[in-house]
A and B are shown apart, each in its own frame.
Chain A
Amino acid sequence: MKGPLDRTKVVLRHLPPSISQSSLMDQVETRFSGRYNWVSFRPGKTSQKRQSYSRAYIDFKRPEDVIEFAEFFDGHVFVNEKGTQFKTVVEYGPSQRVPKQWSKKDGR
């Protein structure tokens, strides 16, 4: 089990529903380029019924990078094309699992 001090996977919640992975990653890249191993982006959705935020999971190389990342992105306000503001939350990923790199090709 990973202790609180060696967790490296974070989740960015409450991102604008329409933000694209590339525009998010552009912002991440400027400060954290090369400091993470894995990213998984979950696009949100805007519909009449229910709006869901976008999310991103990022696995950093070092636990210290997580702290710095949270200092910068936790509470960071994204503004969408209509001018609506979205205040992002950074948290540790509740599950710290990331895909294994060796994941073999399925021979099927």
Chain B
Amino acid sequence: PERSARVSKVRPPLHQYIRKLLFSDLDKSSIERVLRQLRKLPWSECDPYLLKCFMKVHKGKFGQIHLIASLTAGLSRYHDDFAVAVVDEVLEEIRFGLELNDYGMQQRRIANMRFLGELYNYELVDSSVIFDTLYLILVFGHGTAEQDTLDPPEDCFRIRMVITLLETCGHYFDRGSSKRKLDRFLIHFQRYILCKGALPLDIEFDLQDLFAELRPNMTRYSSVEEVNAALVELEEHERVVATEKANIDKHSETGKSPSRTSSGVISVNGQSIANGSEE
């Protein structure tokens, strides 16, 4: 049978160049050059296309995602609107993925979790966004009629999403209020896990690794009753602390948001450590 030859997409030279920079040139050693080249682009013209390409992180290598986050940070000094758009886009994709829970999108959704974590590491989102996202993953669609499609009982994909995000940036939540926020989240997470029942072994091992890395001394609860009791205790404790804090606040003005130095500089090993000093 006669078939027409597949027509390959013809892209304008500028788009081809952007793709070459991001999808073939970009690596650890070339990142500074790629950043300089991106800065030289006619921005008003190719801003939307760049955003589109930055959102293709799932097509590249998993290990490259931090480079894209690093470029976003590097560009934010001159094109802050672009960095804001990248963050908004990633968060929307995560949300959209939860709304659809489409099997074919899994690789992409995992890449987006990694990307969000790296955007935190490069100080483009703050910890509240990370924790809001983590809780959103645990509760989205629960208590609605669609719960069984959005998060079927045997579906462990959301656990993978949480693991991926915390593997990427969880180690920065090791002090101050973000440490407490992670402690608290991990108990809620344990409750979610226990409600799933028996887990596939690979997920169980990934969880063990995650807990070993982030909170080696944390209790892993073995039943929903236990974890519920722990949550009740936690809430009780939080109430006491909140009351005490309210009394102190009457006398001294606190609650000033910590200022974060937004350097946006690409560091040699691609990891910024500044988030560790947050709060």
By a beta-carbon cutoff of 8 Å, the part of chain A in contact with chain B is 1-2, 11, 13, 40, 42, 55, 57, 93-95, 97-100, 103-106, 108
Across the interface, which residues of B come within 8 angstroms of A104, CB to CB?
77-78
**What are 14 A-B contacts defined by CB distance under 8 Å?**
A1-B128, A2-B128, A2-B257, A11-B88, A40-B88, A42-B88, A94-B136, A95-B129, A97-B87, A97-B124, A97-B125, A99-B83, A106-B39, A106-B79
- Report the count of interface residues on B (CB-CB < 8 A): 28
How many A-B contacts at CB < 8 Å in the complex? 57
- Given A1-B257, A103-B80, verify A94-B40 contact (CB < 8 Å): no
| Beta-carbon nearest neighbor of B133 in chain A | A94
Task: Identify whether the interface residues of B are mostly helix, strand, loop, or mixed.
Answer: helix
How far apart sit A42 and B83, CA to CA, in the bound complex (Å)?
A: 14
Q: Does B95 contact A (CB under 8 A)?
A: yes
Across the interface, which residues of A come within 8 angstroms of B155, CB to CB?
none
- A94 near B95 with CB under 8 A, answer yes
How far apart sit A99 and B87, CA to CA, in the bound complex (Å)?
A: 11
Q: Distance in Å from the Cβ of A96 to the closest Cβ of chain B?
A: 8
- A103 near B84 with CB under 8 A, answer no
Q: Does B89 contact A (CB under 8 A)?
A: yes
Q: Does B241 contact A (CB under 8 A)?
A: no
- B79 near A95 with CB under 8 A, answer no
How far apart sit A95 and B87, CA to CA, in the bound complex (Å)?
A: 7
Across the interface, which residues of B come within 8 angstroms of A42, CB to CB?
85, 88-89, 92
Across the interface, which residues of B come within 8 angstroms of A108, CB to CB?
36, 39-40
Q: Does B253 contact A (CB under 8 A)?
A: no
How far apart sit A11 and B80, CA to CA, in the bound complex (Å)?
A: 18
Q: Distance in Å from the Cβ of B95 to the closest Cβ of chain A?
A: 7
Q: Does B81 contact A (CB under 8 A)?
A: yes
Q: Does B126 contact A (CB under 8 A)?
A: yes
- B91 near A95 with CB under 8 A, answer yes
Q: Does B132 contact A (CB under 8 A)?
A: yes
Across the interface, which residues of B come within 8 angstroms of A97, CB to CB?
84, 87, 124-125
Across the interface, which residues of A come within 8 angstroms of B89, CB to CB?
42
Across the interface, which residues of B come within 8 angstroms of A55, CB to CB?
92
- B79 near A94 with CB under 8 A, answer no
